[in-house]
Amino acid sequence: MEEYNFSWNQLGDIAEGRPNLGNKTNVAVYRLMQYTMRAVLEKEYGDERTRELLVMAGRLAGREFCKNVLDTTLPLNKFIAQLDKALVDLSIGILRVEKSDPENLRFTVTVSEDLDCSGLPIKGVTVCDYDEGFIEGIFHVYTGRDFIVKEIDCWTTGERTCRFTINPR
């Protein structure tokens, strides 16, 4: 992956900077930022390039998240349990493994109540491009391998959870 001008410390000291409001915000505010940014990117670069950019940003975030929040020395089942707990603790979503082939590093997972799309109107297309990259980045740091993560179900396709396939590249 290319190098980007980002490091975890750029997130700052939230406790110092927000002594009264803390580190929580409303999901609508997160989505306001995400979907207005997406709208501008789509107008400037088109749908496909916007999707690629969001996946790239998610991948970078997933790698940094994994390096700074998760313990990559844990065995796979404990790593997944830790990941689920971190996602819940940070109100990102609820992770569940539906299918697991650990020998071949192939998985199908769901993320319910996620930040990106839970509760959005049905559009007939998946919208969690950033999440695809986020999951890719996490699995890359944990295994040292590249992955292809594809969202196959989404709230916006009529499902009540987002479902992703995770396969080595």
Query: What would the pLDDT profile of 62-79 be if each residue is shown by its tens digit?
Result: 999 999 999 999 999 999
Predicted local distance difference test score (pLDDT) of residue 2? 67
Write out the two tokens for 19.
């002594």
CATH class of 21-168: alpha beta
Residue with token string 């609508």: 28
- Confidence (pTM): 0.95
Residue with token string 């989404």: 154
Predicted local distance difference test score (pLDDT) of residue 153? 97
Q: Is 124 exposed, middle or buried (0-12, 13-18, 19+ CB in 10 A)?
A: exposed
- Stretches where the chain sits below pLDDT 70 are 1-2
Q: Where are the domains of the chain?
A: 21-168
Burial 17-56 (b: 16+ CB within 10 A, else e): eeeeeeeeeeeeeebeebeeebeebeeeeeeeebbebbbb
